[in-house]
Amino acid sequence: MSTLTPELEALRVRTREFIRTVVVPAEPGPNVRLSEELRATLMAAAKEAGVFAPHAPREYGGQGVPIEHWSAIFQEAGYSPIGPSVLNCMAPDEGNMHMLGIIATDAQKQRYLAPLAAGGIRSCFAMTEPHPGAGSDPDALRTEAARVVGGWRINGHKRFISGAELADFAIVMARNEASDGVPAGATMLLVDMENPGVRIGEQIHAIDRAIAGGHPHVHFENCFVPDDAVLGAPGEGFRYAQVRLGPARLTHCMRWLGLARRAQDIVLDRTNEREIFGHHISELGIAQEMLAQSVIDIETSDAIITKTAALLETDPKAGSALSSIAKVHCSEAIFRVIDRAIQLCGGDGVTDNLPLASFMNEVRPFRIYDGSNETHKWAISRRASSQRRREVAASTGQADGVKGTEQ
């Protein structure tokens, strides 16, 4: 983890203590969603403990932690599957808060960011669509936003919109045509879910439970919003989306790495206590190999998260590219850690006697969410090839110049 100031280290320690002594004992059980009543009780306790909303600006009731130091705190929160929700640093709200803090107008911040950071409302991010619409390829966006008198009219069908059933507002990505000086492209629009043009459709029942509000279809049917609903500049939605998507990929890595650390603690306790063939399991070579590989996966994940978070602070474009690599590595490494823990715990690992199987249900979708790993690998490969071509071209040009000078 990155080196923390004394103030931030104290916050990390408080968060660790709060999660392990207050939140973990209150967990509702494997594969059971956190109730709204319990969440409200625990959120109040988190505020009292001074650990609530670590990423949010202080003026909105958060702890004001810089993004380069989020990981240490988010991992502590992620030690419990319900920890990030209790601390109000869970997706999709956390990513939406980050983007609103950078892009929103002062009026939009007061209307949406302030209550969202306080935990008084929820949100969702409406970009994914049914095939052949936007999924891993945002350029396939089919939802349309048309300019009308006094605002915009949205029509489109979204799917897998995490948190939508409990959301108070959505940030909607919609394609727009060129008009009145606005370039053709995509526009982000703030839409209240009580808008009569919004309809929640069929729920999609995924294996994860940590994100409240499910993953339903959402329909926008002649949905009118005023001009002041535009988030950022019209026609610039794809560019603004990167403000959210890069950090959001990384914070998923942070939270789930905390859960991987818990899985590792569970299996270390188990293998230190259980005996087989006259030895503790932790003394057997095959178990030691698996435990060691999990330590390696945890530490390499921590390292790439730390590097990426620092880069997002200084060079957001490069940081976003590296977050793609971090997402692939961490989602696969975290899965391996939990899978090994299940294997080493034997029969109990796949039952409700331990929470490991429910942990697996939470982290497995991460290889698909925020862009499938295969899509990220395709982009990573293209960037690497392009970078190498530029390096070779630059090197060749320099060599030719030197040769010409010598002649």
pLDDT tens-digit map of 226-252: 999 999 999 999 998 888 988 999 999
Q: What is the pLDDT of residue 1?
A: 52
Query: 199 exposed, middle or buried (CB, 10 Å; 0-12, 13-18, 19+)?
Result: middle
State residue 261's pLDDT score.
98
Question: Does position 105 have pLDDT exceeding 90, yes or no?
Answer: yes
Tell whether the model's pLDDT for residue 203 goes beyond 50: yes
Which residues contact residue 138 at a Cβ distance below 8 angstroms, ignoring those fewer than 6 apart?
127, 173, 186, 238, 241
Percent of the chain exceeding pLDDT 90 equals: 87
For residue 305, pLDDT over 90 is answered with yes
C-alpha 404/C-alpha 217 separation (Å) is 64
Confidence class for position 31, pLDDT limits 50, 70, 90: confident
Q: What's the confidence (pLDDT) of residue 311?
A: 95
Whole-number pLDDT of residue 30: 85
Cβ(207)–Cβ(361) under 8 Å?
A: yes
Rounded to 5°, angle at Cα 306 from 304 and 307: 65
Helix (H, G, I), strand (E, B) or coil at 260: helix
pLDDT tier at 387, thresholds 50, 70, 90: very high
Supply the pLDDT for residue 287: 97
Taking residue 118's Cβ as centre, other Cβ atoms within 10 Å add up to 17
pLDDT at 346 over 60: yes
Q: What is the mean pLDDT of residues 177-188?
A: 91
Q: List strand residue ranges (DSSP E) for 197-354, in order.
A: 198-200, 218-226, 230-231, 275-276, 279-280
- Other Cβ atoms closer than 10 A to 306: 19
pLDDT at 399 over 60: no
Residue 405 has pLDDT above 50, yes or no: no
Distance CA 224, CA 220 (A): 9
Compute the average pLDDT of residues 255-269: 98
In this predicted structure, the answer to whether residue 65 has a pLDDT above a threshold of 90 is: yes
Per-residue pLDDT for 180 more than 90?
no
- pLDDT over 70 at 102, yes or no: yes
The answer to whether the peptide bond before residue 132 is cis (omega within 30 degrees of 0) is yes
Average pLDDT over residues 25-34: 90
User: What pLDDT sits at residue 397?
Assistant: 78
| pLDDT at position 398 | 61
Which domains does the chain carry? Answer: 6-90 (1.10.540.10), 123-234 (2.40.110.10), 239-390 (1.20.140.10)
Q: What is the pLDDT of residue 2?
A: 60
In the predicted structure, residue 404 carries a pLDDT above the cut 60: no
CB 18 within 8 A of CB 77: no
Q: How much is the pLDDT for 84? A: 97
Confidence of residue 27 (pLDDT cuts 50, 70, 90): very high
Residue 407 in this model has a pLDDT that exceeds 50 = no
Mean pLDDT, the chain, rounded, equals 94
pTM of the model: 0.93
Residue 179 pLDDT grade (very low, low, confident, very high; cuts 50, 70, 90)? confident
Indicate the pLDDT class of residue 90, thresholds 50, 70 and 90: very high
Question: For the chain, what is the largest distance between any 2 Cα atoms, rounded to a whole number of angstroms?
Answer: 81
Phi, psi of 43 (to 5 degrees): -65, -40
What residues does 316 pair with on adjacent strands? Answer: none
Q: Looking at residue 402, what is its pLDDT?
A: 42
